[in-house]
Amino acid sequence: MQPDLLADRLEMLLVAQWLEAGASEDGTVAFTITRAVEELGCTGGRRGLLEVMGALCHLEEAQRVRVEWSATAGGPATAHLAEPLRRDTQAAFNPPAN
Query: What structural domains does the chain harbor?
Result: 3-92 (1.10.10.10)
79 Cβ neighbours under 8 A, 6+ residues apart = 14, 18, 28, 29, 30, 31, 65, 66, 67
In tens, the pLDDT along 29-75 reads: 999 999 999 999 998 889 999 999 999 999 999 999 999 998 887 78
Of the two residues 87 and 74, the one the predictor is more confident about is 87
pLDDT class for 94, splitting at 50, 70, 90?
A: confident
Helix 83-93 to helix 3-20 angle, to the nearest 10 degrees?
60
Residue of 1, 12, 5 lying closest to 58 (CA atoms): 5
- Global confidence as pTM: 0.89
> What pLDDT score was predicted for residue 96?
63
